[in-house]
Amino acid sequence: MIALTLAEIAAITDGDLRLVDPDISETTVSGVVDTDSRNMTPGGVFIAKPGAETDGHRFVAAAVTGGASVAVVEHIVDAQVSQVVVKDAVTALADLARAVVARVRAEGQLKIVGITGSNGKTTTKNLLARILEDEGETISPINSYNNEVGAPVTMLRVTDSTRYLVSEFGAAGPGSIAHLAGLVEPDIAIVLMVGMAHAGGFGGIEETARAKAELIAASRPGGTAVLNIDDSRVAAMRDAATAHDMHIVGFGQDGSADVRASDVQVAADGTRAVITTADATLPLHLKVLGAHHITNALAAIAAAGVLGVPLADAIARIETVQVAERWRMQPLGNDRVRIINDAYNASPDSMAAALRTLAQITGPDERTVAVLGAMSELGESAGEEHDRIGLLAVRLNIRRIVVVGPEARRLYLSVVGEGSWDSEAVHLPDQDAAYEYLRTELRDGDRVLVKSSNSVGLRHLGDRLGELFS
């Protein structure tokens, strides 16, 4: 974080400053800002956020031990540290992020990119950050820090020397993207896709589309909207971008895209395509598995182009990326039994893409094995969407389908109903049962996909299988 005095922090957050020493109000701090006491470093600012399972106020002393110079609290805590007492710690965190980014931006160097979409945000963020880090200091979220806490914490990592801030915005509900993006008003707004992920929480896919479009309205007028024109709902955001006085850069495989991909080929060593812009046409070999990640690469290349990065440089840099992120199409295992751990999250779109990738990278003498758990947050569409994935798995001729957990039983019944029987499909109660089954079932030549929503936890099963066959 940039250097701020304790008095400035209190003023920004509309808080009541309680000092351990009356003479230190003008003392500056410039350390990490976080809600996790374990992340504190000397000069840090600890945000004591109340939570459903625990309360950050209980960890103020631990934060001080870690080096925190000040704690932002909702009530005074018995600890030897200066405290800023605020009405709401999360609101104070957001206010602090808004003020810090505004100060850095006023210096004229900082450019801000905002990313949203039902799938692909984290991969796109990582690819774009890899491109931009060779241009100048780049701040981007750790893991998927894209909510009301993670996004501001990422924003507060900017310093006076930061050239690019890449922010990822998830949608907890209507208005959440507008709020988070509004803290920084991105210069570039990337909208990847509108899918069924979290649709249950919005009341349907059209409401989801409206939520994603909030990023356009919250961006800077005169900025650039980078839109996936292969997705009709995203392409329809052109009107909102134009009304907001934004330039438009379209990406996709459609021939009208400003940044487009053709000749997409998926193999076990990654995904290849030909990338075309107004200035050049070049081949891309993306190490990340799956044709769907070409869309994410196009978005990153398009945004980088807006920022002046030539296509050749952008491609050369993202070709060095080996894995999108842990638990996202992460290759594990060995040449005999290959594991693809893609169980950080799952939506109908990402589940279908992962299954297609499994089929595409498996040779004629190899066997496809899909280990599948439930997709969460689909609301009334959950049953229908699990049926659709079961049907797709059978039609892709996935040879072994292992369904894990009671929440995914509908998927298993769909698989059986479509004609998989005689041990081609099994339903197991939990991860441990699945591990014991797979430990003896898997054999040389198997290509194994592990896929579920984060809440199901199959990513840990994927790790165990990867270690078993390492």
Query: CB atoms < 10 A from the CB of 384, how many?
Result: 13
φ, ψ for residue 23, nearest 5 deg: -95, 5
Q: Is the pLDDT of residue 200 over 60?
A: no
Dihedral (CA of 22, 24, 26, 30) sign: negative
Give the whole-number percent of the chain exceeding pLDDT 90.
Answer: 83
The distance of Cα 455 from the centroid of its chain, to the nearest Å, equals 15
Rounded CA-CA distance 430/414 in Å is: 19
Q: Where are the alpha helices (DSSP H) in 273-430?
A: 292-306, 311-318, 348-361, 382-395, 409-417
409-417 and 382-395 helices cross at what angle (nearest 10)?
40
Residue 198 has pLDDT above 70, yes or no: no
Phi, psi of 24 (to 5 degrees): -110, 15
Query: 112 has which bridge partners?
Result: 165
Residue labelled with tokens 């007492």: 85
Q: Give the C-alpha distances (Å, rounded to integers) separating 151 from 157, 207, 433.
A: 10, 22, 37
pLDDT tens, residue by residue, 139-149: 999 877 889 99
Q: What is the mean pLDDT of the chain?
A: 94
Q: Residue 201's pLDDT is what? A: 55
The token pair at 457 is: 């936890």
Residue from 356, 370, 393, 345 nearest 441 by CA: 370
Query: What pLDDT does 196 receive?
Result: 65
| Averaged pLDDT, 347-362 | 94
Query: What pLDDT shows up at residue 197?
Result: 55
pLDDT of residue 326: 86
pLDDT higher than threshold 80 for residue 164: yes
pLDDT band at 52 (very low <50, low <70, confident <90, very high): confident
- Which pLDDT does position 254 carry in this prediction? 95
Q: Which residues pair with 266 in a beta bridge?
A: 271
pLDDT confidence bin for 54, thresholds 50/70/90? confident
Give yes or no for residue 311 having a pLDDT over 90. yes
CA–CA dist 155, 351 (Å, integer): 31
Quote the pLDDT of residue 144.
Answer: 73
DSSP string, 218-253: HSPTT-EEEEETTSHHHHTTHHHHHHTT-EEEEEES
Query: Rounded to whole angstroms, what are the CA distances from 242 to 211, 225, 233, 341?
Result: 18, 9, 15, 40
pLDDT at 428: 96
224 is in an annotated binding site: no
For residue 218, the model assigns a pLDDT of 97
Q: Which tokens in the block code for residue 343?
A: 């169980």
pLDDT band at 199 (very low <50, low <70, confident <90, very high): low
- Closest C-alpha to 45, from 31, 59, 55, 56: 31
Of 210-219, 234-243, 253-262, 413-422, the poorest mean pLDDT is in 413-422
Is there a binding annotation on residue 250? Answer: no
Q: Is 123 one of the annotated binding-site residues?
A: yes
| Residue found by looking up tokens 């990640």 in the block | 293
Is 119 annotated to bind ligand? Answer: yes
3-class DSSP assignment, residue 323: coil
What confidence score (pLDDT) does residue 427 get?
96
Tokens of 424: 């081609």
Region class of 59: left (phi > 0), else alpha (psi between -120 and 50), else beta: alpha
Residue 117, marked binder: yes
| Cα atoms found within 13 Å of the Cα of residue 418, Cβ hemisphere only | 22
In angstroms, what CA-CA distances link 418 with 38, 411, 412, 414, 450?
Answer: 50, 11, 10, 6, 21
Grade residue 118 by pLDDT with cuts at 50, 70 and 90: confident
The CA–CA distances, whole Å, from 159 to 26, 30, 263 equal 19, 9, 41
Q: So what's the pLDDT on residue 202? A: 59
Is the distance from CB of 260 to CB of 298 less than 8 angstroms?
yes
Tell me the CB-side half-sphere exposure of residue 363, using CA atoms within 13 A. Answer: 11
Domains of the chain plus CATH, in order, are 4-88 (3.40.1390.10), 107-318 (3.40.1190.10), 330-468 (3.90.190.20)
Nearest to 171 by CA among 190, 187, 142, 148: 148
Task: Summarize pLDDT for 366-384 with one digit per residue, the tens.
Answer: 999 999 999 987 888 899 9
Provide the token pair at 213.
Answer: 């479009």
Condensed to tens digits (0 to 9), the pLDDT of residues 391-410 reads 999 999 999 999 999 999 99
Give me the residue label for tokens 């292992």.
402
Residue 286 has pLDDT above 90, yes or no: yes
Percentage of the chain exceeding pLDDT 70? 98
